[in-house]
Amino acid sequence: SQQGEEDPQALSIQEGENATMNCSYKTSINNLQWYRQNSGRGLVHLILIRSNEREKHSGRLRVTLDTSKKSSSLLITASRAADTASYFCATDQASGGYQKVTFGTGTKLQVIP
């Protein structure tokens, strides 16, 4: 089962605008991560936020986490055409003494030059 659900499923913006993607999840987590995937390629890690953190920045990326609402958002500022990709959130869940990482359904971002 999918732990996370991203919203919106697809987003199209002009270059220079900001892009915001949201992720909701179901169970308690230790960490939440965001990944990027170019079409037909593997995923690339962008940023990790721990459950005791509320906000984190990395370059043009800003991630927020609200554990009370079980939600996170990824903001990409001053978008570029090269940001066109799918973005996924991932959460870790305790499972029988192990931690497994499960992914959301993704947001497909198109940045128009």
Partner 1 sequence: DGGITQSPKYLFRKEGQNVTLSCEQNLNHDAMYWYRQDPGQGLRLIYYSQIVNDFQKGDIAEGYSVSREKKESFPLTVTSAQKNPTAFYLCASSWNTYTGELFFGEGSRLTVL
Residues that bind partner 1 (CB under 8 A): 1-2, 4, 30-31, 33, 35, 40-45, 48, 88, 90, 92, 95-96, 98-106, 108
Cα–Cα dist 104/9, whole Å = 11
Residue placing its CB nearer to partner 1 in the complex, 97 or 113: 97
Residues in the chain: 113
Minimum CB separation of residue 103 from partner 1 in Å reads 4
Q: Strands 107-112 and 85-95, how do they pair?
A: antiparallel
Minimum CB separation of residue 69 from partner 1 in Å reads 21
Residue placing its CB nearer to partner 1 in the complex, 17 or 54: 54
